[in-house]
Chains A and B, each alone.
Chain A
Amino acid sequence: MQALRSTVGVTVLSLVFVAGSASAALAQLRPPEVRGLRGAPFPSMNPPPEVRSHGEGPQWDGRPPDGVQPLAVDLFTSKDFYKDRALWTDRRYWRCNAPRQIADMRSGGAGTATADPRIGAKPPGSARWGDCTMDWPRENIVSPYRFSSAKEHYQALMADAKSRGGPTRHTYDTMPRWDGAYGEYAPEGRRVWNYSRANQVPTMLSLLTPDYQTRFVRQIYHEGVNAAHQWSASYCWPEGFMRQWATGPKPTRVVVTPEVVVFMGTGSSNIWRIVNLNREFPLGSDVRQWYGDTIGFWDGDALITWTANIQGWNQHSSWEWSDSLETIEIMTPVRDASGKFLGLDWEAVLYDPEALAQPVRILWHRNFQGGWATAPRFAYAECTRPLYPIDGFATPVAPGEVIQYKVPDMLDRPWAKIWEENFEKDMDRPKEELDLGFK
């Protein structure tokens, strides 16, 4: 009863807290609506709150919330998650944890050890529960627009701009002064849904096609149950396109010229995205780029872009995307009452018919922190490999230590191969055999 009272108390406090911060959030995440094509509003607070833990401490090991009947088999007791497909849509299968909560079960989060991991004293069966009442609604994630492809969306935005005399051709004298350093708008630590911290797993799965649902579940299982995280930065693998909307190299610097707008970020690796203004696809060969090829135009002081030719890849604790991923992004400046530039409302609509059941949308805000002249030195990261997969686990290796290393096929989902070879020998895994047309 004491536990229940505590939970209720925390929930009430959180709601008050959330309500109090909502107005601040809306002040900076509210792109102007333009004739139904841009800035369709969000129906609720954004960025969303994270799914909380149901309880912390050993007394909560494996203990469900009051009134919640656990499943006979769930992620943490299953011997073969592939066979549990019918259960994947039940949040109890995941013990009501968000994907990233499951990824962090064995630690205190990335780069943080803990003496009290949420996996509990007898892993994996002792894994703790998340808050079953929390979720970021699916309707807040799926695209509110009618378009089925990025090309169609871009053409409509272009036609809309033309109908109002656009697109705008800025010169050095007229172009928006966005140059400088930016941070992430994360009110009270809340972050966009793509961090996979705000959703129940079934909601995330509902966004994906069946094959990509399997890929997602496979990743969560091996991170949470086996502690076999295959994070790109561990191995100096590329971070990939979607990681800019998570903990990867986010766009923290901007350079604007009349011909291009450059977004740059750094961290475990680097991201350079160059918006080629007033150009058409293709920009070059059909070789996929890790951050795609981007074209765009100005509509007044809003920048509208289309990115295609993106290399399919993986983001840990979340969903994989395919080579078909394309985005429409709309960056709208936000100013205070005095006209001071505060930053960019950044709306991204993602089209990936291979991975996504329907297009989805991310809206976040980049806070303007200051010009290049006053910003800290912008570092360029060259990754020197910190970890190697040993028996399927990302493992630090001391200089001079000799290990056996199997060279991965980098364009054949190397993370999946590691799980297959080390953890799935007794599972009924769907066949993924190479078929070259010869015996």
Chain B
Amino acid sequence: MRIAATLVALVSVALLAPGTEAHHSYAMYDGSLYRVFTGVIVRIVPNAAHFEMHFVPLNEQRDALVRDEKDQPMVWVAQMESAAQALKDGITRESFPQGTVFSMGIHPRRDGKPAGDRGDSGLFQCPKGSKPQPGKHCDSVEGNKAFGTGQLPKHTPAAPVPRS
């Protein structure tokens, strides 16, 4: 009986412990997929619950921004850990100013819209003024900087959309 009570208490503590501080479900993201981007920072949005990076992906040649059908830069939103955790990893507005080139994987939105969550992906910043070789990411650039732990995940091609 005492052991059971202790176990219940431990489980309760684990459940109540602050950590992720998530404020919404992640059901909208496809956790079975990773898309790996090298992109350029538009803005860091340090929301308390989920830090965000707004970025524009670079093309495969790494020499131009990906643009939408109106020829406007295609802005993606990456939701991340809490602002507190991001700051512990050194991810700030100052360390990621507009124009920073970085690489990261995200679980994309299930509907294909330009947003996703970081999951367990590593985050690598290219040295200022540099960019990866075509098809490569910042983790391949000499002098790159990692923020937090983890590696870039393997890019998972999206499943083909079934034709009706």
Let me know if A287 and B87 touch, CB within 8 A.
Answer: yes
Interface residues of A in 277-322 (CB under 8 A from B): 285-288
A410 at the interface (CB under 8 A from B): yes
- Contacts A409-B43, A411-B43, A436-B98 given; indicate if A285 touches B65 (C-beta within 8 A): no
Say yes or no for B63: interface residue by CB 8 A criterion. yes
Given that A286-B92, A287-B93, A409-B54 are contacting pairs, would A436 and B87 also be in contact in the complex, using a CB cutoff of 8 Å? no
Count of chain B residues near A, Cβ 8 A:
21
Interface residues of B (CB under 8 A from A): 40-43, 45-46, 54, 56, 58, 63-65, 73, 83-84, 87, 92-94, 98-99
Contact indicator per residue, chain A 400-439, by CB within 8 Å of chain B (1) or not (0): 0000000001111000000000000000000000111111
List, in ascending order, chain B residues with CB within 8 A of A288's CB: 46, 93
Known contacts A287-B92, A439-B64; 12 additional CB pairs below 8 A are: A285-B46, A285-B92, A286-B92, A288-B93, A434-B42, A436-B41, A436-B42, A437-B40, A437-B99, A438-B56, A438-B63, A438-B64
Taken together as a complex, chains A and B put the C-alpha atoms of A287 and B87 apart, in Å, by: 9
* Closest chain B CB from A237 CB (angstroms): 14
In the bound assembly, the distance between CA atoms of A287 and B94 in angstroms comes to 9
- Residues of A near B58 (CB, < 8 A) are 438
A434 proximity list for chain B (CB < 8 A): 42, 73
Complex alpha-carbon distance, A434 and B73, angstroms: 9
Residues of chain B with a CB closer than 8 A to A435's CB:
99
Distance (whole angstroms) from the CB of A345 to the closest CB of chain B: 35
Contact A286 B40 (CB under 8 A): no
Shortest Cβ distance from B128 into chain A, in angstroms? 10
**A-B residue pairs in contact (CB < 8 Å), sample of 30:** A285-B46, A285-B83, A285-B87, A285-B92, A286-B92, A286-B93, A286-B94, A287-B87, A287-B92, A287-B93, A288-B93, A409-B43, A409-B54, A410-B45, A412-B43, A434-B42, A434-B73, A435-B99, A436-B40, A436-B41, A436-B42, A437-B40, A437-B99, A438-B40, A438-B58, A438-B63, A438-B64, A438-B65, A439-B63, A439-B65
Please give the distance in Å from B72's CB to the nearest CB on chain A. 9
Give residues 359-413 of A contacting B (CB, 8 Å). Answer: 409-412
- Which 3 A-B pairs have CB atoms at the shortest separation, nearest pair first? A287-B46, A436-B40, A285-B87
Instruction: Please state if A436 and B73 are interface contacts (CB–CB under 8 Å).
Output: yes
**Chain A residues closer than 8 Å to B83, beta-carbon distance:** 285, 287
Report the minimal beta-carbon distance from B71 to chain A, rounded to whole angstroms: 11
Given contacts A285-B92, A286-B92, A287-B87, contact A436 B45 (CB under 8 A): no
Instruction: A288 to B41: give the CA distance in the assembly, Å.
Output: 18
Q: Which residues of chain B come closer than 8 Å to A410, judged between CB atoms?
A: 45
Which residues of B have CB within 8 Å of A409? 43, 54
Q: How many Å from the CB of B109 to the closest CB on chain A?
A: 14
Q: Which residues of B are found within 8 Å of A439, using beta-carbon distances?
A: 63-65
